[in-house]
Amino acid sequence: MLLATTLGVAAATLDPGEILDSIKNQAVFCEGTYALCIRAPCVGIPTMDRLGNYSVDHALCSCEVVKGWSMGPGACSDRVPVRQGGHTYMISTYSNLFNDTHKTLTCSDTKTNWAYCYGAPCVVDDKDPNKATCTCPVSQSAMSTLGGNCEQDACKGIWSAATPEADKFSSQHFYAYMQQNHPGVPVNKPAEACPVLPR
């Protein structure tokens, strides 16, 4: 069953090179509580301008709240969860926590719609503190994700993901950094790729 909702309208395009550079320039490692979205299914948020033109520029992604080391933008002090108005907020950052149990699905079509959740704002589910909903900008390009269960049909939906280049860098950099700087902390190697099935 396809968990992510199909996007039926044009999405905003983020330059793939800018995404990779953004991650490289904002790869701050912190230990604490964070939202992890790399396998999250998402639902597009429709908007309409004054002329009646519809678009989906952002998506709501169902992410998980975990504790440990993560890589993301901003100082560690700025990434501490905060309590406001009866809700707990945090940002989405990256780790390879799921790399040992999930494979990387790559959708090569440049018109694939996906959500870029690196540094996105999130709110913790009031009924389940292990879940968070994050608001992530939508992009359109080839992408890689740990979501989708290796099913190519999943490429028709919106998943939290990154460009293949950015996904590869994040996974390798996270593993190398943790091995070098925190060798006593268990860390997963980069995830294996999903098998390529014959057409």
Task: Say which residues have a Cβ less than 8 Å from residue 71's Cβ, sequence separation at least 6.
Answer: 27, 28, 29, 93, 94, 95, 170, 173, 174, 177
Sequence ranges of the domains in the chain: 16-40+55-178
Q: How far apart are CA 148 and CA 137, in angstroms?
A: 19
Task: Say which residues have a Cβ less than 8 Å from residue 26's Cβ, sequence separation at least 6.
Answer: 72, 73, 74, 118, 119
Per-residue pLDDT reduced to its tens digit, 160-179: 999 999 999 999 999 999 99
Per-residue pLDDT reduced to its tens digit, 115-149: 999 999 999 999 999 999 999 999 999 999 999 99
Give percent of the chain with pLDDT exceeding 90.
81
Q: How far apart are CA 180 and CA 170, in angstroms?
A: 15
pTM for this structure? Answer: 0.87
